[in-house]
Amino acid sequence: MQHPLSQFQFCPKCGSQQFEINNEKSKKCGDCGFIYYFNSSAAVVAIIENAEGEILVATRAKDPAKGTFDLPGGFIDMYESAEEAVVREVKEETGLFITSPRYLFSIPNIYVYSGFEVHTTDMFFQCKSNNFSDLKAQDDVSELQFIARNKLNPADFGLNSIRKGIEKML
């Protein structure tokens, strides 16, 4: 696998081509001196249970891993907390309003978007909803369903971090 920094050829500050490896985590511009550190992007994942203890599972409508199972979630926007992001992402993808998101654990991931490897830290939250009447697949979700914990198969989930999260949850 190619190092993520190899995807960056020009200094993001001045545009110079004198943008060279500084160390395993950064590149440095030979013209302006700017050092760019390649860090993970932050993402959130929602584990939502109904009254029967079943988990809300989404089917991905788009690549990567189109047609596979997923959990609601997505990237954290600038100036947004992880808790705000999980509430927003769940609303965008499912129509649900969730309350009391509780952080559980995180898992690193590589999310390939438009051929670009985005390294992420996926933060998993346990979330509650008091009303499932507005449940509707939206945004990048083609279908939503509740699945009993004992029927969840990690292999059905297309993204590596979600698979690992399901294994950890079970």
Give the pLDDT score at 26. Answer: 95
Q: Are 82 and 132 in contact (CB under 8 A)?
A: no
Q: Output the CA–CA distances (angstroms, integers) from residue 119 to 73, 122, 158, in the order listed.
A: 16, 10, 16
Q: What is the pLDDT of residues 45-83, one digit of tens each?
A: 999 999 999 999 999 999 999 999 999 999 999 999 999
Q: What distance separates the 2 farthest-apart alpha carbons in the chain?
A: 61
Give the pLDDT score at 131. Answer: 92
pTM of the model: 0.92
Torsion over CA of 57, 42, 66 and 99, rounded to 10 degrees?
20
Say how far apart CA 109 and CA 19 lie, in whole Å: 26
- Closest by CA to 47, choosing from 126, 104, 115, is 126
Is 143 noted as a catalytic residue in this protein?
Answer: yes
Say how far apart CA 17 and CA 9 lie, in whole Å: 6
Q: What is the pLDDT of residues 100-140, one digit of tens each?
A: 999 999 999 998 888 888 899 999 999 999 899 999 999 99
In the chain the domains, ranked by start, together with CATH numbers, are 4-37 (no CATH), 41-169 (3.90.79.10)
Give the pLDDT score at 89. Answer: 98
Say how far apart CA 165 and CA 111 lie, in whole Å: 15
What percent of the chain is predicted at pLDDT more than 90? Answer: 87
What percent of the chain is predicted at pLDDT more than 70? Answer: 99
Alpha-helical runs (H) found in 58-135: 82-94
- Closest by CA to 84, choosing from 119, 144, 5, 92, is 92
Q: What is the pLDDT of residues 3-46, one digit of tens each?
A: 778 888 999 999 999 999 999 999 999 999 999 999 999 999 99
Q: Environment class of residue 135 by beta-carbon count within 10 Å: exposed (0-12), middle (13-18) or buried (19+)? A: middle
Give the pLDDT score at 1. Answer: 58
Given 24, 52, 83, 143, the catalytic residue = 143
Q: What is the pLDDT of residues 138-147, one digit of tens each?
A: 999 999 999 9
